[in-house]
Structure 1
Amino acid sequence: MEEINLAERKLSRRQTLKVIGGSLALCAADFTFASSIWGAQKKPNIVFILSDDHRWDAMSNMGHPFIKTPHLDRLANEGVRFTNNFAAVPLCSPSRGCFLTGQYAHRHGVKNNYTPWNDKNVTFLEHLRNAGYKNAFFGKWHMPGKLPDLLGKAVDQFVTFTASGGQGLYFDCPLIINGTVTPRKGKYLTEDLTDLALEFIRREKDGPFCVYLAHKAPHQPFSPPPELKKLYADADVSRTLPPEYHAWIHQKEGSIYYGVLGSVGEKYLDYHRVITAMDQQIGRILNELDKLGIADNTIVVYVSDNGYFWGEKELIDKRYPYEEATRIPLIVRYPSNIKNPGRSSGELTLSIDLAPTLLQLAGLPVPGAMQGLSLVPVLADKNIRLRDSIHMEYFKDFPYNVPEWDAVRTDRFLYVQYQGQKGPELFDIQKDPRTLHNIIDTPEGKSILPSMQNMIKDILRKKANG
Structure 2
Amino acid sequence: MLRLALLAALAFVPSAADAADPPNVVLIIADDLGDGDLGCRGHPHIRTPNIDRLATQGVRFTNAVLTISSCSPSRSSLLTGKYPHETDAEQLHWPLPASNETFSERLKAKGYFTAAVGKWHLGNAVKDRFDLVVEAGQGGFVLPTGPDGQPMKMTAGANPSGCEDWVPVLKNRPQDKPFFLWLAALDPHRAYEDDTIPNPHTAADAVVPPFLPDVYGTRSDLAAYMDEVTRLDGYVGEVLAELDRQGVAENTLVIFMSDNGRPFPRCKTTLYDSGVKTPLIARLPGVTPAGTTSERLVSSVDVSATILDLCDAGPLKKGRGESFLPLLNDPAGPAIREYAFSEKNWHDYDASQRSVRTTDYKYIHNLAPELPNTPPADAVRSPTFVAMRHLRESLTPEQAAIFTPGPAEELYDLSADPHELNNLAADPAHAAALNELRGALAQWRTDTADPSPPLRSPDEFDREEGTPLPARQRPRSNKATMFPN
The reply to whether residue 33 of structure 1 matches residue 2 of structure 2 is no
Residue matched to 1:148: 125
Correspondence list, 1:164-183, <5 A: 173-175=137-139, 177=141
Identity %: 29
Corresponding residue for residue 184 of structure 2: 214
Q: How far off its partner does 1:379 sit?
A: 0.7
Bigger relative CO (Cα 8 Å, ≥ 6 apart): 1
Q: Is the 8 Å Cα contact of residues 49 and 213 (structure 1) preserved in structure 2?
A: yes
Q: What residue is the counterpart of 1:391 in the other structure?
A: 341
Tell me, what secondary structure is at the counterpart of 2:204? coil
Task: State the Cα distance separating 1:336 from its structure 2 match.
Answer: 3.3
- Write the letter of the residue equivalent to 2:132: Q
> What code does the residue aligned with 1:352 have?
V
CA deviation digits over 1:404-441, x for unaligned, max 9? 11111111111111113341111111111111111111
Identify, as 1 or 2, the structure richer in helix.
Answer: 1
Q: Does 1:287 align with 2:241?
A: yes
Contact 2:115 2:133 in 1 (8 A): yes
Supply the RMSD in Å over aligned alpha carbons: 2.7
Equivalent-residue separation in structure 2 for 1:316 and 1:384 (angstroms): 33
How far off its partner does 1:64 sit?
Answer: 0.4
1:373 aligns with 2:322: yes
| Candidates 143, 148, 158, aligned match of 2:133 | 158
User: Does 1:325 pair with 2:275?
Assistant: yes
Q: Which amino acid aligns with 2:249?
A: A
Q: TM-score, normalised by structure 1?
A: 0.79
Q: Which amino acid aligns with 2:114?
A: N
Within-5 A mapping of 1:150-299: 150-151=127-128, 154-161=129-136, 173-175=137-139, 177=141, 184-185=156-157, 188-200=160-172, 203-223=173-193, 226-228=196-198, 230-233=199-202, 235-237=204-206, 240-246=207-213, 263-299=217-253
Asked if residue 93 in structure 1 is aligned to residue 72 in structure 2, the reply is yes
The residue type paired with residue 353 of structure 1 is D
**What residue in structure 2 maps to residue 8 of structure 1?**
none
Residue 393 of structure 1 aligns to which amino acid in structure 2?
A: E
Q: Given the superposition, is the C-alpha separation of residues 412 and 247 from structure 1 closer, same or farther in structure 2, using an over 3 Å criterion?
A: closer
SS at match of 2:225: helix
TM-aligned CA distance change 1:159 to 1:325, over 3 Å: same
Deviates more, 1:186-195 or 1:88-97: 186-195
**Alpha-carbon distance in structure 1 between the residues aligned to 2:41 and 2:244:** 25
* Structure 1: runs of 5 or more not aligned: 1-27, 162-172, 249-261
1:258 equivalent in structure 2: none
What displacement does 1:292 show? Answer: 1.2
User: What is the TM-score when the length of structure 2 is the normalising length?
Assistant: 0.76
Whole-angstrom distance in 2 between the partners of 1:300 and 1:451: 36
Note closer, same or farther for the CA distance 1:365–1:224 as it changes in structure 2 (3 Å cut): farther
1:136-180 Cα offsets, whole Å, 9 max, x none, are: 11111113xx523424xx22221114xxxxxxxxxxx33362699
Distance 1:316 1:406, change over 3 A: closer
Which residue does 1:124 correspond to in 2? Answer: 103
Question: 1-side partners of 2:93 and 2:159: how far apart?
Answer: 29
Report the more deviating stretch, 191-200 or 415-424: 191-200
Q: Is the 8 A contact 1:141 1:160 kept in 2?
A: yes
2:55 pairs with 1:76: yes
Change (3 A) 1:122 1:186: closer
Give the C-alpha shift of residue 182 in structure 1: 8.4
| Cα deviation code 1:262-292 (max 9, x no counterpart) | 9432221111111111111111111111111
Letter in 1 for 2:60: R
Does the C-alpha gap of structure 1 residues 263 and 234 become closer, same or farther in structure 2, counting only changes over 3 Å? closer
| Pairs aligned (count) | 399
Is 2:101–2:316's contact at 8 Å kept on the other side of the alignment? no
Instruction: Supply the distance in 1 between the matched residues of 2:124 and 2:345 (Cα, whole angstroms).
Output: 22
SS at match of 2:355: strand
Aligned match of 2:43 in 64, 71, 74? 64
The one-character-per-residue Cα deviations of 1:298-327 (angstroms, maximum 9, x if unpaired) are 1111111011264xxxx2551111110011
**Which stretch of structure 1 is more off in the superposition, 362-371 or 207-216?**
362-371
The answer to whether structure 1 residue 412 and structure 2 residue 360 are counterparts is: yes
**One-letter amino acid matched to 1:67:** I
Unaligned stretches of 5+ residues in structure 2: 12-17, 145-152, 370-406, 452-485
Cα deviation digits, residues 1-58 of structure 1 (max 9, x gap): xxxxxxxxxxxxxxxxxxxxxxxxxxx6456436667995100111111111111111
Are the aligned partners of 1:223 and 1:274 in contact in 2 as well (CA < 8 Å)? no
Quick check: 2:250–2:284 contact (8 Å CA) kept in 1?
Answer: yes
Whole-angstrom distance in 1 between the partners of 2:143 and 2:315: 31
